[in-house]
């Protein structure tokens, strides 16, 4: 017998959480305050590009396990669990803006049945569990921290096959009830205090960002000494203490989580009196990587007045999310150098940037280009007809910022090839 769950917020995390719980047999009502978004969802229209999500949303709606309503007060009345999945955007200082979180708690408070468990799924700093408790103003409503560890492009799979489930609460009974929702997934369930649970998400993302910045720094070393970074990282990854995950160089890291969470943990540390200098260096190294890709492009052609074809706009393959995309950071810098950019992405159809023309296929992006930059690792780009590309470009220069392409056939076709950490 499934539980009755309300999910507040139908963004990336909320929609995935609600759809997956419905898929597991629970009765789920998802609420949002944006009428147009709710109307679209009620029609089965999914606003984000995420593998498998549309299918389980429609299946949940068809079997009656999943519904969408306008206004949180219309979702929580009969709920045994209420998941808060509202945005926590970054402030100018780098800390998390918790206004949406407290507003949601205040809004649902009068409508909750005694004993309903409120679960904070949003990424929040230490102390947020207490903040939600205060906003609710009810001693009969336990609050549990349950951070999400979803990767864009594989969020459904990550929810249904998690590496771990982290639950933070001082109320053992409430923690146990939340744990019961995940027990059939077969993942380790870690129960801890709220502060540890809240810190866990930030720490995980900050570490992964650090690993990526280190990887790109090693790539720069490889270029300087004539080593091949792919071989170096392969050798490193066989060490079980390191592993192969996140050992892939690129144009820098971005997305909705890593930049925000990296700055947030610095802010959390600052507030606690600790200067997280290491993390500051990680962020600086990432910005330098954007510039490094532009310098690579400058090394093969003059950018002022040139056309540059950029393949990829999303921050990574498998998503249409452009938030903090390294591809866009590179594009901005190319335009600042005087280049006109023609960009293409399989999942992104528009980009509001001066000097950028978003085209509808990869070949159109290559036409007349003095350089082609591979900025996002879409598989589509590996199967391009480079004989055709050769005829379309003004100059045969490829900057492979993802080390995605087979360089030898390109060189045989007369292309100048530059990867990251390899030539």
Q: Which residues does the annotation mark as catalytic?
A: 257
d(CA 345, CA 250): 17
CB 27, CB 105: distance < 8 Å: no
- The phi-psi region of residue 418 (left if phi > 0; otherwise alpha if psi is between -120 and 50; otherwise beta) is beta
Closest alpha carbon to 47 in 7, 18, 11: 11
Give me 259's structure tokens. 């930049």
CB atoms within 10 A of CB 139: 8
**Helix 194-225 and helix 128-136: axis angle, to 10°?**
140
> Cβ(116)–Cβ(81) under 8 Å?
yes
Alpha-carbon separation of residue 117 from 3, 32, 105, 199 (angstroms) = 12, 19, 12, 21
Residue 32 gets the label, from left (phi > 0), alpha (psi -120 to 50) or beta, of beta
Strand blocks (E) in 14-128: 27-32, 66-70, 81-84, 117-120
Encoded tokens for 212: 């990526």
Two structure tokens written together for 100:
């949406």
End-to-end alpha carbon distance in the chain: 58
Residue 102 φ then ψ, to 5°: -70, -35
| Pairing verdict, β 397-400 and 371-374 | parallel
Distance CA 357, CA 341 (A): 6
């Amino acid at each position: 017998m499934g539980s009755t769950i309300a999910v507040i917020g139908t963004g990336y995390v909320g929609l995935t959480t609600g759809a997956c719980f419905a898929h597991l047999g629970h009765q789920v009502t998802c609420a949002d305050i944006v009428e147009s978004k709710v109307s679209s969802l009620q029609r089965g229209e999914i606003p984000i590009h995420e593998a498998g999500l549309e299918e389980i949303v429609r299946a949940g709606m068809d079997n009656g396990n999943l519904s969408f309503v306008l206004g949180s007060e219309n979702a929580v009345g009969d709920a045994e669990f209420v998941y808060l999945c509202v945005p926590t955007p970054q402030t100018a200082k780098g800390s998390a803006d918790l206004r949406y979180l407290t507003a949601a708690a205040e809004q649902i408070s009068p409508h909750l049945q005694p004993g309903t468990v409120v679960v904070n799924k949003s990424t929040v700093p230490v102390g947020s569990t207490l903040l939600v408790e205060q906003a609710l103003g009810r001693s009969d409503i336990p609050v549990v921290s349950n951070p999400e560890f979803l990767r864009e492009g594989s969020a459904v799979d990550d929810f249904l096959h998690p590496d771990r489930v982290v639950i933070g609460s001082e109320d053992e009974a409430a923690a146990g009830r939340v744990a019961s929702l995940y027990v059939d997934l077969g993942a380790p369930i870690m129960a801890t205090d709220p502060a540890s649970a809240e810190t866990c998400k930030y720490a995980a993302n900050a570490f992964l960002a650090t690993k990526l910045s280190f990887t790109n720094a090693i790539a720069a070393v490889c270029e300087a000494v004539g080593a091949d970074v792919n071989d170096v990282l392969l050798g490193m990854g066989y060490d079980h203490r390191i592993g192969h995950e996140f050992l892939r160089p690129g144009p820098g890291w971005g997305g909705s989580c890593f930049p925000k969470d990296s700055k947030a943990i610095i802010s959390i540390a600052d507030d606690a009196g600790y200067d997280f200098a290491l993390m500051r260096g990680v962020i600086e190294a990432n910005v330098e990587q954007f510039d490094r890709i532009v310098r690579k492009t400058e090394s093969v052609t003059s950018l002022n007045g040139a056309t540059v074809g950029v393949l990829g706009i999303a921050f990574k393959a498998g998503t249409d999310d452009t938030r903090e995309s390294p591809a866009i950071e590179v594009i901005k810098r190319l335009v600042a150098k005087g280049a006109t950019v023609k960009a293409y992405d399989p999942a992104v159809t528009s980009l509001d940037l001066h000097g950028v023309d978003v085209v509808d296929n990869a070949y159109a992006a290559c036409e007349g280009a003095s350089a082609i930059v591979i900025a996002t690792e879409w598989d589509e780009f590996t199967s391009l007809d480079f004989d055709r590309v050769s005829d379309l470009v003004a100059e045969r220069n490829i900057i492979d910022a993802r080390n995605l392409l087979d360089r030898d056939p390109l060189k045989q076709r007369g292309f100048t090839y530059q990867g990251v950490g390899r030539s």
